[in-house]
């Protein structure tokens, strides 16, 4: 007999009663603290101390561990620190690293004199935080029951955002009264009692067997993910579902400023109304998966998050009317949160528990791709057609995500079931055949990436009145002389390598390889 699905009221009561849900929710607060420090507090501290803005800009590189955390995630699937469960043990180790690195940051009192050491401390904090996130997300996948996932996603977002507000907003205000050394010390000391959370958190009811080797921990998560029924459609949906939303939010602040709103209006809209809207929307999105099923929740939230962009089109049409702007911002962020809630449950269900660390890290990285690349084309498009038409156009960019959703979850389907597809009758590939297909996919990706980056740089040069210097930008990219060009080239190369690896995993998962 299948378990009875919890009602909305029962789900909310379950948050207070369940140790699993309580642990997942409270651990999210620990997860959000370091991001506020690295992303918001440290740059504000540097800028207030008079550090060169170009140096402050380089501090954004400290966020790299959150992007590349999937690289060391297999270690957490394969190995377990002694004395605790596999994921709880890694969380305890990462939490200890956050405590030590936070205390180190508190000893650095002069930003002008200690800027290099502050940058190093920020990188260590980011690495420990990304490691904590890998273990925490994997623990969430393993410990939660299916009926608990919806409300857990809402609780995770609420406490994560609250932690970011404490470490990234409240800390800036407190530094004006007590100074950064004391503020940084207080933030670091929060990790001491936080160690009780992974220590006392319950173990999963069913502990998945670890991969038999590190090689298996690296390779099998790809094969397992891409071997699922309609894997390509699902992964395309993961990338495309929030594309319209990401295009809109990439330029919301510049749009409001250019429309005529002052900094206070923009701060209230994005900081207060936006935060309340996205937290509330995420809770509703998670609960919607329980009341309507994950399939219908994805459809409802997907349509609403696209249509809500029309609120900004109205703002562009009527001009700087505060009430209209606040209403449009609240609606857009709430519908974005609704999509996040349903989508968060989808990621939890897509992840196989045996490879929970690696697969969830990979899926969450895929989820961020549109957000990373949305800014440049959004800016060019808004400049070309105007703000009102730009926001109307974003509705069209949401259609591919809905089309991909229709491919594996028609509207009539209430819930989504994911399974590994049976072996296909097609003959297996030879090692040489697998190798050249992977090399070809990587080479094509590398070429397209280099051409796209050079074209964007040439377009910026053209708009600055320097001509469309594609050849010059190509040379600068392929033979980098600056840190920015080197990082761009490295990003394209890494992307190409990941595409080649994904191609290999897809082919192995669907066709297999001949063995001698």
% of the chain residues with pLDDT over 90: 20
Cα separation, 37 vs 99, in Å, equals 13
Cα separation, 36 vs 270, in Å, equals 16
Cα separation, 29 vs 339, in Å, equals 21
CA angle 111, 115, 118 (to 5 degrees): 90
Q: What are phi and psi of 429, to 5 degrees?
A: -85, 150
Say what the pLDDT of residue 466 is.
78
Fold of 220-422: Growth Hormone; Chain: A; (1.20.1250)
Say which residues have a Cβ less than 8 Å from residue 406's Cβ, sequence separation at least 6: none
Higher pLDDT, 455 or 323: 323
| pLDDT averaged over every residue in the chain | 82
Model confidence at 78, in pLDDT bands (50, 70, 90)?
confident
Helix axis angle for 310-318 and 252-259, nearest 10°, is: 20
Pull the structure tokens for residue 286.
Answer: 């998670």
CB 154 within 8 A of CB 288: no
CATH of domain 1-146+156-199: 1.20.1250
Domain range summary for the chain, segments of one domain joined by +: 1-146+156-199, 220-422, 431-510
The Cα-based distances of 405 to 161, 341, 414, 432 in angstroms read 28, 16, 13, 35
CB 232 within 8 A of CB 171: no
Model confidence at 390, in pLDDT bands (50, 70, 90)?
confident
Q: Which stretch of 296-300, 375-379, 434-438 has the lowest confidence by average pLDDT?
A: 375-379
Burial of 304 (0-12, 13-18, 19+ CB in 10 A): middle
Domains 1-146+156-199 and 220-422 share a fold: yes
pLDDT tens readout for residues 431-488: 888 888 889 988 998 898 888 878 877 876 776 677 778 888 888 888 888 766 776 7
Match 């890694």 to its residue by tokens: 90
Cα separation, 198 vs 448, in Å, equals 44
Mean pLDDT, residues 162-184: 88
Say what the pLDDT of residue 121 is.
92
Q: Is 84 helix (H, G, I), strand (E, B) or coil?
A: coil
**Rg of the Cα trace of the chain?**
23
Pull the structure tokens for residue 302.
Answer: 């997907």
Helix axis angle for 8-17 and 149-165, nearest 10°, is: 60
pLDDT tens readout for residues 104-127: 999 998 887 888 899 899 999 999
% of the chain residues with pLDDT over 70: 86
pTM score, whole prediction: 0.74
Pull the structure tokens for residue 69.
Answer: 């955390």
pLDDT tens readout for residues 329-340: 999 999 988 988
Tell whether the model's pLDDT for residue 15 goes beyond 60. no
Say what the pLDDT of residue 145 is.
81
340: closest CA among 246, 225, 408, 272?
246
Say what the pLDDT of residue 84 is.
78
């Amino acid at each position: 007999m299948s378990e009875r699905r919890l009602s909305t009221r029962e789900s909310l009561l379950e948050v207070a009663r369940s140790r699993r849900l309580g642990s997942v929710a409270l651990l999210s607060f620990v997860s959000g603290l370091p991001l506020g420090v690295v992303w918001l507090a440290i740059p504000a501290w540097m800028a207030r101390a008079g550090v060169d803005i170009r140096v402050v800009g380089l501090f954004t590189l400290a966020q790299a561990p959150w992007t590349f955390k999937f690289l060391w995630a297999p270690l957490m699937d394969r190995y377990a620190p002694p004395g605790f469960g596999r994921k709880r043990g890694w969380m305890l180790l990462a939490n200890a690293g956050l405590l030590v690195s936070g205390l180190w940051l508190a000893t650095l009192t002069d930003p002008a004199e200690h800027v290099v050491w502050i940058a190093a401390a920020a990188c260590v904090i980011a690495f420990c935080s990304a490691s904590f996130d890998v273990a925490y997300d994997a623990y969430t996948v393993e410990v939660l029951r299916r009926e608990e996932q919806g409300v857990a996603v809402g609780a995770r977002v609420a406490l994560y955002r609250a932690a970011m507000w404490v470490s990234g907003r409240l800390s800036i205000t407190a530094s004006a009264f007590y100074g950064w050394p004391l503020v940084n010390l207080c933030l670091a000391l929060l990790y001491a009692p936080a160690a009780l959370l992974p220590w006392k958190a319950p173990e999963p009811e069913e502990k998945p067997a670890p991969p038999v080797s590190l090689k298996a921990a690296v390779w099998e998560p790809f094969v397992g993910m891409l071997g699922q029924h309609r894997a390509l459609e699902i992964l395309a949906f993961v990338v495309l579902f929030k594309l319209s939303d990401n295009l809109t939010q990439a330029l919301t602040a510049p749009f409001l400023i250019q429309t005529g709103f002052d900094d206070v209006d923009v701060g209230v809209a994005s900081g207060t109304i936006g935060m309340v809207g996205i937290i509330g929307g995420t809770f509703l999105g998670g609960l919607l998966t329980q009341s309507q099923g994950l399939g219908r929740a994805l459809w409802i939230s997907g349509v609403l998050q696209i249509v809500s962009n029309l609120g900004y089109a109205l703002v562009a049409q009527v001009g700087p009317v505060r009430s209209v702007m606040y209403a449009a911002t609240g609606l857009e962020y709430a519908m974005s949160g609704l999509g996040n809630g349903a989508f968060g449950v989808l990621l939890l269900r897509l992840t196989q528990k045996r490879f929970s660390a690696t697969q969830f890290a990979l899926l969450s990285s895929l989820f961020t791709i549109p957000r990373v690349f949305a800014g440049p084309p959004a800016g060019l498009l808004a400049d070309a057609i105007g703000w009102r038409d730009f926001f109307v156009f974003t509705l069209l960019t949401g259609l591919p995500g809905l089309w991909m959703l229709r491919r594996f979850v028609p509207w009539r389907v209430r819930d989504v079931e994911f399974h590994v597809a049976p072996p296909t009758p097609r003959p297996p590939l030879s090692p040489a055949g697998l190798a050249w297909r992977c090399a070809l996919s990587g080479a094509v990706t590398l070429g397209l990436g280099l051409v796209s980056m050079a074209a964007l740089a040439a377009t910026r040069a053209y708009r600055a009145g320097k001509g469309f210097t594609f050849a010059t930008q190509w040379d600068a990219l392929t033979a980098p002389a600056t840190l920015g060009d080197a990082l761009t080239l490295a990003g394209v190369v890494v992307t190409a390598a990941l595409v080649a690896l994904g191609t290999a995993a897809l082919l192995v998962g669907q066709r297999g390889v001949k063995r001698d």
